[in-house]
Every structure is written in structure tokens, then in C-alpha cells.
Structure 1
């Protein structure tokens, strides 16, 4: 009943003939609030004095603020109730692709155009190719300062994988070489391995390294940059999720047997020196967010384990596992580990063809735990997937007046029709919950979503839509 009341209220089904909300006890109102967006709450405060008192109460605001912080990946953050509206606005702007402000940073005419980007902690890293070397540039969006260094070994790698912490940036030189830089001192570290490796995650000065070609066995290593040493932790079978806590000197690993019904999980905890501290087994319950429930029991035969899909946001680490049943090809299992509660959960949900299933890999940004932005050149649309409520939003990309080169590439040539299999990467995305950037050959559009953050970019200009420029 509470759920139906919440949905009916959100849909505007209640009329002025009977004010049902005012007659409900506060406990029921708070239960309804969890089905509403922050924007619904703010609109509700303007209905009447009685509604304003209900939806402005401390209990209502606290409940909604906790949920909003969870959605933003800021669970546990100490935010005063007086600042709740700022965070409501922040989540609403992300959810509906309505940036607080947009700015455009053109490339300098005298420099080469960057070809790869990575963003973290208000710092933008870019790879600038030259004939005999690659240049790495770090742009601090808080101070506007730039830091540049050259990299000779990594240029052999076609695509770089950046990992960024508060002090270090790690890149892959080739299949067997990892390179790290101390951003503060510009000291360079190099590690050579006897087999192909993949740097998956960094926390402070610890890097998680996997061997990608050993499935279903997964050897896991920790590269400690403070001592420049590598420690093998263990070899896991069907490793589906892991969480690194550098401050707590702990790695938590989850191996899942999907052929058991329900799936059986083996959770182990290791010190970063390779000592086993804890082991337990339990069954995994799968909640169902799918519209079409053709699959009743998962099978390991159809589950993909991409090595680059671990994402940590706030107190949660998540991983999306594509499920490729020939009768039901577009389905995913989302694993979520809440490390404050030491609890693993899982969900089925539907999806359209994901990036790693298509040959051209659409550009993707995951700004917070429950949202994914994906841009597709053939439609010139952003698709925003909201895992929280199961909705998908389409949003058209608006060109800045200075993006003439991008405009030419977005206009199909005579006789040519865009296809999802076109490989040309004409627009690259990066970002997080505060800011999302779209880089082209002309420059970068920055979309700012955090109301409290204004990038310090002296060369940037206010966004000017191309149709407005004449």
C-alpha cells in the first residue's frame, strides 16, 4: 500500500478534493518519501503550509538526505541538514542531465591534440602523442595548474589504462610492463612481469594487479608503490569481486560458484602481505529487477568476467557481470559489496547491448553507483541508465559554437549511414559525480554538476550552443 501511495503521489494522482497526505501519520509519510525524488519533495513544499511543514520536517529531510548521499556515492558523509537542498539539486542534475553550468576549453593552436583522458580527484590526465614519445599532462581543475612529463616506453601500447590516486598515476606500457609516477616528486617506477598483467585498481599507494589470460584462475598481486615491491596474494577460482582497503591493509575477495543453486560464495580476507585472515561460505540471494524473467537460475557457462569492471564508490564496491544466454542475450548481474557492513548482495537486471558486447565500445562514464552515461555516435544521443529506478533517459549532445571539426564528423557523408560498428573515436568521455567532460578534436565541454564546485580554468569560455552562434 505504501509503495502504491508513493507512486500515485509521484504521478500526481492525488487531487485537491481530499488531502490524504495531511491525514497520514509521520511514519507513513516517511515511508512514502523513499519513493520520491528530491525534486518531488521540493515541489511538495510549495503546495500548502501543511505540506510544507510535513515535507520540511527534520525527519523528512534527514531521511531524504541519507538516501541522496547514497545515490551520489557519498554514503556516510557528514553533511549538515541546512545543505540538503544543494545535494538534492546535485542528484537531480545528474539524473536528468541538467548541468549546473557548462564551459568549453579549446585546444591551443600550437599543440598536438590529446587522444586519451582520465579524470580523478579534480585532476584531468591526458595523453598527447608525438613522433618519438608521448607526453602526459595533468591539469588541476581546482588551481588551474598544469604539470607535464614525457613517457617513452608506454608509447608502444595502443591504448593506455590510467589508474589515479591522490599521489600516484599508473599506466600500462605494454602487456608485461607497468609504469607509475609520483605526482608530487615526478619519481618514476617500472615493473616488468613474465606474463601479461592488468592493473585493475589503486588505493593510496597500493595497486591491484591481475593476470587476464589465466581464466578461470586469477592470480592477484599487490604492487606497493611506497616500497616499490610486488606481493602475490593468492590464486583465485572464478574471482567475481574484490575490494582493496589500503588503509586497513586488507584485500577482500569473493569467488562464486554459479552452477550451485543458489550460488555459493567463498569470501576470504587477506593482509596485503599475503596472509589469510578470514574465510567463510554462504549462499547468494539474487533480487530481480528484470522486466523479462526468462532465466530462473544462472549458469557459469554464460557469465562473463571482464577484468576491468570493479568500481568503488563511497562505501560500496560494485561489479557488473554480463550474462550471455543465447535465448536472452542482454542481461546483467550486479554484485555490490558494502564494506562498512561486510555484506555482499546481487541483482539481476535488464540492459541494452553493453559496451563490451559491441565492436566499437561506446564511450561510458559511471559518475556514481546508480547512474551510467553512454554516448553513441550513430544516434548522437546520450543514454543515461538509472539503476536505482530502472529507467533510461535519452539526451541529445549539443555542439558548442567552437566545435566545427566535431560537427563535420557528426554529419554523415553522402551515402553513408552511421552504424553502431563505426570505430572512429570522435568524442571521448571522462568524469565523476562532480563533473563530466566530452573531449573532441576542437576542445573539451565540461558539464559541472556539483553546485559547490567551479573549475579554475583560465582559458575556458562559457558554453555557446552552435545554433545560438548563427
Structure 2
């Protein structure tokens, strides 16, 4: 059902409710349950929450077990969760969780001041309920477990300063980049034991992704080789293939496979070379070429702007990435690979207002399979890219009163893109917790109703007066926070 149909349905519902108020019949309330369940399949999650506020009768209908259970599978899929994870959960809590992500409306906010300020935002990372940052002396890395409140210290025992860090559920990577390559130190965050150190030559600023106990090291820009560091055996495997434009890949440690997509943008539509490799050993298993439909658009590969380490994410059997168009600030390209169906798909995301190229160093943060967040300094907000609707919206960023050094002027960078990194906001996180870091501290946004911990040293969020610049939808806020259902 398209947006026009949504609008017609909303007008129709309003008309029927008005008639019911004059003692007439409410046709929606009298529909058979099976038909209502079918109708709900065409509604998005915001429509379902808003329908609950039409009347007491509608609230009862749209929060019933039959309705909620019917939308639970697609809600969990949109959050990147398995069905088994919802065994003890209330379906409506997942609906509100998803709507909160789509509208940047968390169920809880706190502000975490940092007594020691990292010199760059590359030195802050978040993954799986863990927050990590590098102290200014470059000798210690602090990891905060949001679930338990415990802090762990990991030492940087290499001679080079750590430029950035990478986290997974099990491992912490400390990365030092130099002209000759990169040095990577791996720690096990569960045992606090050092796993090993590797030097990667001729790969400056590589993109690192972690699949269970494998570190996939891909070239930062365009041409180069792929290497895989097996943290169990402490061996590095280098793929023989020389990739031209590696735009997306998917690692499945359980199947010991790596699927890569190498693009040739000169022909129209562009040619894509898909290859399957053994994850350990780099043996080529299968290769095929096909043409990717651009839905009528023409794209020059040089026009696509990729980001740094936040450009790639995997949710189970799906991997996604996203690119800016240098020539069109209204449009973004979203690529998704579904490993279970062996399908590569493309979606164009359009914004009603132009989003500048140089915003927070062009960083994206994937928070759900179809939702990407990005700080936009020039528009004083958080851009939310929604691949399900093909749209991009900007929601205002509300300062905490302790962000004293981050004034409205600081949120508007000069026309020259080389603004100092500490003057930027940095957005990172996942579907449960989004972190927005400034030079004064970190706002922690909790979206999962089942995970709202009391973080040590964090203080309740107190919004700075917005001076009437932004208008809030209070009715929808109340709907999201309502305990009904």
C-alpha cells in the first residue's frame, strides 16, 4: 500500500469515527478478526500505534494478541532479531522499539561526561552493550560494560599511538595506521587476555570487520587485496584476487565463506562480479557476473562517496552498505545482500532537503537492517535513512545542558570541509543503544524497552532550551511511552 493509500485510509478512519460519535456504525470495529489481521499487514508500525489512539475500541482492537502476533515476525526482521529472541517479550514493546528507531525517539536518555577527552572520535566505539574509548595518553583503553557497570582497562603495548578501535561481542581491536601499513592488536574482552598482534603492509586505513573469530581486512579505497586474520590460529590469509571496486562483502564464519562484490561502473547498467571464497585460505569456490539494475539512474563510480569503518554492517544473513552521491546531496544509495536468498538489491533513498557531503566526516551508523543514522552538523540534527520507505528525514538534535562547549554556532561548520574533528558530533551504536558524542561527553539513547540500565557516572538527560526552533509531536511521544498493549 503506498502513501496515497495511507492518506485515504486515515481520512476514511477519521470520517467513520466522526460518524460513530453521532451514534452511527463503526465499520472497522465490526470487521471479522481475520480481515483485520489482513488489513494490518498493509500498515506500518507508526500507523498501528496511531490507530490505538483513535478510540478505546480501536485501542482494544489494534493492541489485541491476534493483531500483534501477526506483525511480530516482520517487526523482529526489521530490528534484525531472530524469532526466538521474542519468546518472553511483549509484541507491542518491539513495535514501539522499532518506531522509536525510525523517529529517533528513545525510551530513555542519559548524559555521560568524559573526564578524559579522546582527541578524536575514531577513539570511541560501541558494540553489543559495551562502550569503549582511548585515553589521551594513548596507553590505556577504557571499556565500559553498560549491562554490569564494570570498567576494564586494556593497555596499548605497541610503540605507535592507537588511531582507532574496533569492537565485537568478543574482541577489541586497537589499530595504528602508518605510511607503511597498519598494526593491529587484538584483545579478548571476556578474558581480558591479549590474543595477538599483526602488521598489515601496504594497506593504509584498512576497513576492518569481525565475523566471530575472523578479522576481515579490506582495502580502504578501491584497489587492493583482502586479508583474513584468524584469531584462533593467529594466521593471516591473503586473497590472491586484486579487487577493483569492492563495494560490499558478506562473511559467514559458520559456513567458512566470504562473498564479495566487485563493481565495474563504466558500462550501463554496471557489471558486478560476485565471488564466493573460503574465509580461511582464500580459495575461490564460485564466480558469476551479472548486471545490476539502477532503476533508470546513471551513476559514475567516482561520484559515489564511501565512508570509513561505519559504512558496513551485517545482521545475521544480511549485509548492508551505503554511499553518498557527490553530485546529488538529496540522494543516497543503499546496497543489501541477502545471503540466504543469494540476492543483491539496491534502494535509492531520497531526502526532501539536501544533506551536505561533509557531515561528521561522512560517517554512517547502521542501527537496524533498514535504518542508518548520521549526524548532520549543517542542519543541526540526526539524519535517518530508511531503506524500507526509500526516504531520509532529519530530526533535530537536542543538546544536554552540560554540553556547554557545543553551542548552536559549533553545530554549523564553516564552508570549508576541514573542520576540526573535536568540533563535530559523532553518532554510533546499534539497535539497542545509540551514542551521540560531542567534546563534552556522550548522550546515550536507549531504544529497547528491555534494556535501560543505570550507567555509572551517567547523569539524567536535561534538555537545553530549544528556544522554539523545533516543534515536537507530543501526541506521538505519548503514544510511544504509553504502557498500553
Q: Kindly state the Cα deviation for residue 423 of structure 1 after the two structures are TM-superposed.
A: 3.0
Match of 1:231, SS state, is strand
After superposition, give the CA deviation of every residue in 1:239-298 in whole Å (9 maximum; x if it has no partner). Answer: 221101112211011223334444333322111222222233334334x5xxxxxx6333
Q: Is 2:193 the partner of 1:186?
A: yes
Among 212, 221, 225, the alignment partner of 1:204 is 212
Q: Cα gap change, 1:436/1:274 in structure 2, threshold over 3 Å: closer, same or farther?
A: same
Which of 67, 70, 76 is 1:69 aligned to?
76
1:92 aligns with 2:74: no
1:416-449 deviations in Å (ceiling 9; x for gaps): 9753544352333322111122333433321111
Q: Structure 1 residue 195 and structure 2 residue 198: aligned?
A: no
Q: Which residue of 1 aligns with 2:153?
A: 148
Aligned pairs for 1:102-251 (under 5 A) are 102-108=109-115, 111=116, 115=120, 116-130=123-137, 133-153=138-158, 155-156=160-161, 159-160=163-164, 162-175=165-178, 176=181, 177-183=183-189, 184-197=191-204, 198-212=206-220, 215=222, 217-235=223-241, 236-251=243-258
Q: CA 1:229–1:142 in structure 2 vs 1: closer, same or farther (change >3 Å)?
A: same
Distance 2:216 2:332 in 1: 24
- 1:284-323 to 2 correspondences below 5 Å: 284-286=292-294, 288=295, 296-300=297-301, 302-304=303-305, 308=309, 309-323=311-325
Shift of 1:12: 6.2
Which residues of structure 2 form unaligned runs of 5+?
A: 20-24, 467-485
Q: Distance in 1 between matches of 2:73 and 2:158?
A: 46
Question: 1-side partners of 2:108 and 2:382: how far apart?
Answer: 18
Other-structure match for 2:15: 15
For residues 108-138 of structure 1, the C-alpha deviation after alignment (integer angstroms, 9 at most, x for no partner) is 4xx56674310001011101112xx432110
Q: 1:457 to 1:34 in 2, by over 3 A?
A: same
> What is the alpha-carbon distance in structure 2 between the residues aligned to residue 418 and residue 348 of structure 1?
27
CA distance in 1, matches of 2:428, 2:60: 41
1:323–1:459 distance in 2 versus 1, CA, 3 Å: closer
Assess, with a 3 A threshold, how the Cα gap between structure 1 residues 418 and 12 changes in structure 2: closer, same or farther.
Answer: farther
| SS state at 1:74 partner | coil
Query: Secondary structure of the equivalent of 1:187?
Result: strand
Deviations, residues 312-336 of structure 1 (Å, cap 9, x unaligned)? 13432112233445xx565333211
Kindly tell me: are residues 193 and 165 of structure 1, through their superposed partners in 2, closer, same or farther at Cα, counting changes over 3 Å? same
In 2, Cα distance between equivalents of 1:248 and 1:37: 35
Shift of 1:194: 3.0
Length, aligned pairs only? 445
**Residue matched to 1:453:** 451
Equivalent residues of 2:218, 2:227 under 8 A apart: yes
Residue 154 to residue 85, structure 1, CA distance change in 2 (3 Å): farther
Q: CA deviation at 1:4?
A: 4.5
Separation in structure 2 between the aligned mates of residue 181 and residue 174 of structure 1, nearest angstrom: 18
Moved more, 218-227 or 308-317: 308-317
1:336 corresponds to which residue? 336
Q: State the superposition RMSD in angstroms.
A: 3.4
SS in 1 for 2:258: strand
> Does the Cα contact within 8 Å between 2:154 and 2:192 map onto a contact in 1?
no
Q: Give structure 1 stretches of 5+ with no counterpart.
A: 289-294
SS at match of 2:239: strand
Give the TM-score of the pair, scaled to structure 1.
0.82
Secondary structure of 1:322's partner?
A: strand
CA-CA distance at 1:88 after TM superposition: 0.8
Distance 1:31 1:369, change over 3 A: same
Per the TM alignment, residue 41 of structure 1 is displaced from its structure 2 partner at its CA by: 1.7
Q: Note if contact 2:274-2:288 (Cα within 8 Å) is conserved in structure 1.
A: yes
CA contact (8 A) 2:307 2:362 kept: no
Contact 1:364 1:374 in 2 (8 A): yes
- Rounded to whole Å, the distance in 2 between the matches of 1:429 and 1:302 is 24
Q: Please give the secondary structure, in 1, of the residue aligned with 2:106.
A: coil
C-alpha spacing 1:349/1:180, structure 2 compared with 1 (3 Å): same
Aligned partner of residue 125 in structure 2, secondary structure: strand
Question: Measured at CA, do residues 389 and 12 of structure 1 come closer, stay the same or move farther in structure 2, by a change above 3 Å?
Answer: farther
SS at match of 2:72: helix
Give distance in 2, aligned partners of 1:280 and 1:78: 36
Q: Distance in 1 between matches of 2:11 and 2:98?
A: 20
Task: Provide the C-alpha distance between the structure 2 equivalents of 1:362 and 1:304, rounded to a whole number of angstroms.
Answer: 8
